[in-house]
Structures are given as structure tokens and as C-alpha cells.
Amino acid sequence: MKPLKNNVNQGAQMNQQAKRLAVVGECMLELHECENDTFCMGYAGDVYNVAVYFSHIAGDTLDVDFITAVGTDRYSNAMMDEWRKHGVRARHARRIDDRMAGLYLIETDEIGERDFHYYRSEAAARHMFDGEEGAVLLNQLAKYDYVYFSGITLAILHNECRDKFLAKLAELKNCGVIICFDTNYRSKLWPSREVAQTFFNLAMSFVDIALPSFTDINHLFGDTDLASCADRFLEAGAKKVILTDGDKSYMIATADKQTLHPVTAVSAVDTTGAGDSFNGAYIAAIMQGDSDEVACEKAATLAGEVVQHRGAIIY
């Protein structure tokens, strides 16, 4: 599939007045199943995937930076080169000498659902906000119009870094930065469900745009219907909730109304990048001035294309 760029001057320098998005999290080495029982390597991670799809949709009309940390090994170098190819900037990414990039393996079943196996104990991103350099990195977030993070971002940060990040989110929200949160709950990354609930509840109190999946919230909090799931985020303080329910539908919810929209069925090969592509396209469209309805239509269309390919990133 060809990139969906909107820019007409592909090599042009980014407009300095463009709205700016920071995505906070981790990029990892990805191993996914190929033909003949072999594995192919790529680079992926939930917020990184969002940044890639955002960049391909927005082109030169918007600016996206990846806030993270990587090692100084050759895989980290190759990873950063790949980011740049996709138009994802890494102006503030930390390099940590004694750390490296994390790795995960995806197993995909016959209907396209996937299971993840993580190897990230030495991952640099877990320590991105450590020390003086970490404080500098946190302070860079105030330069952005939108900040995007996920439940995986919260899960991979060690305790002190997580606390610093959440405190910064509260500060950013008070300064008018738009905070976007994708739930992406992965039980394997948390010591217990109760610990995850504690940090999700805290994070939800800082969020302007909530991007939960119904599956995540059902597994984490036990909500059994879309309306109660959306209400959870609205009551916590979100201005709007874009709630996805797999290949069935999505809901647009605000304090005034909730509207449910069906999704066109496709033959899924791999659902790895579905939610990330949806969110990247949605945020790009919103930042370009589209309504929630139009932005979600664009997002659902892209997600439907992505699940018909293997791997999280189809470009």
C-alpha cells in the first residue's frame, strides 16, 4: 500500500507554525511470523505506530516528535533511521549507553488475533525520564499542542519515571496542552490488575481526548457495555471519548451525546496495527480541523486497510 501523504512538497521543510504532536512511549524490535514458519524483523510499538500513521496522513501539514529513549547499539541506530524515513522526528530522543531497544514477538492465529511475547527488561525507554536528562526531556513536552501516550507507556516506565510523567501531564493540562490517552491495557506488563487500575484512574483525570477500546476497559474494569465505558472517561474529566469495539463499531461520546457508528467488515489478516492506525489517522484529522465524525470515518477506513496486511506498519 502506498503512503497516504497529503503534502504536495514532500521534501519541503516543515512549516514552523504547524501544530505539533508529541507521542510518548517506546519503539521496539518487532518479530512477526512470515511464510514457511520464519520470522521477519521490523520496528514497532503502539505509540510509534501512531506516529507513523499520523505522519503519513498529515505529511508536511503537522509536526510529530517521538519522545522516548533508545540505546547506542546498532539496532537502536537502525531503528532511529527508520523513524526518519517515516517522517517521525526524534529531536529529543535520549540515547542511553548501557541500555538497548526492547523486543517483542507476535503470534497470530487463524482469524488474525495476536498474542505478544515481550523481552524488554533492559529497554532504554523504561528510563527515559531518569536523572537530569530525563527532566529536560519532560520539560520539552510543554512545547507541543498535543501530547499522546498509552497504557503501555505507563506500564513500561519504572515507578519513579511514571510518577514524574503523570505529574507533568497534570501540569501540561493546566497549561492548555491537549492530552490524548489510548488505553492499550496489556495485563502481562502490570504486576496486578489493581495496580493498573490505580494508574489508569490517575491518568484518566488528566485526559482531554480518551481513545479506549471496549476490550481493554472490559478486561481492566469490568464494564459490560459501551455507554458505561464512555461514561467512565467522561466522569473522570475527558472532553470526548472515541471508543472502539473491534471490527464492530466505534462510539463518539461527549457530555452532551453518544453516537454509535458501525464499521465496514473486511477480511482481517493481522489486527496488530488496527487501533494504532485508527488513532493516528483520527488525531491527524482532528489537528487538521476535521469534525469528530469525519476524523473517525477516515480513521476507520485506514484501520480497515491495515488489518488486511501483516505487521503493525504497512508502509
> Would residue 225 show up in a list of annotated catalytic residues for this protein?
no
- pTM of the predicted protein model: 0.90
- Average pLDDT of 21-36? 90
For position 128, what pLDDT does the model report? Answer: 98
Any idea which residue has 514477538 for its cell?
105
Torsion of CA 228, 233, 235, 236, to 10 degrees: 150
Contact between 245 and 18 under an 8 Å Cβ cutoff? The reply is no
The string of pLDDT tens digits covering residues 136-145 is 999 999 999 9
Q: What is the Cα–Cα distance from 120 to 101, expressed in whole angstroms?
A: 7
- Average pLDDT of 160-181? 97
pLDDT at 114 over 50: yes
CB atoms within 10 A of CB 39: 11
Secondary structure, 3-state, the chain? CCCCCCCCCCCCCCCCCCCEEEEECCCEEEEEECHHHCEEEEEECHHHHHHHHHHHHHHHHCEEEEECEECCCHHHHHHHHHHHHCCCECCCCEECCCCECCEEEEEECCCCCEEEEEECCCEHHHHCCCHHHHHHHHHHHHHCCEEEEEHHHHHHCCHHHHHHHHHHHHHHHHCCCEEEEECCCCHHHCCCHHHHHHHHHHHHCCCCEEECEHHHHHHHHCCCCHHHHHHHHHHHCCCEEEEEECCCEEEEEECCCEEEEECCCCCCCCCCCHHHHHHHHHHHHHHCCCCHHHHHHHHHHHHHHHCCCCCCCCC
Q: What is the Cα–Cα distance from 210 to 135, expressed in whole angstroms?
A: 26
Q: Which residues contact 267 (CB under 8 A, 6 or more apart)?
A: 308
Any idea which residue has 505507563 for its cell?
154
Q: pLDDT grade, residue 16 (50/70/90)?
A: low
For position 6, what pLDDT does the model report? Answer: 45
For position 131, what pLDDT does the model report? Answer: 96
The string of pLDDT tens digits covering residues 230-244 is 999 999 999 999 999
pLDDT at 170 over 80: yes
For position 10, what pLDDT does the model report? Answer: 39
CATH architecture of 23-306: 3-Layer(aba) Sandwich (3.40)
pLDDT at 11 over 50: no
Q: What percent of the chain has a predicted confidence (pLDDT) above 70?
A: 95
The string of pLDDT tens digits covering residues 180-204 is 999 999 998 999 999 999 999 999 9
For position 12, what pLDDT does the model report? Answer: 39
For position 9, what pLDDT does the model report? Answer: 38
Annotated active-site residue in 115, 208, 276, 292? 276
pLDDT at 15 over 60: no
In whole angstroms, how far apart are CA 23 and each of 10, 86, 185, 278, 287? 22, 14, 17, 15, 14
For position 116, what pLDDT does the model report? Answer: 78
Looking from the CA of 47 toward its CB, the CA atoms found within 13 Å total 27
Q: pLDDT grade, residue 14 (50/70/90)?
A: very low
* Average pLDDT for the chain: 92
Cα–Cα nearest to 93, from 25, 167, 165, 164: 25
For position 315, what pLDDT does the model report? Answer: 85
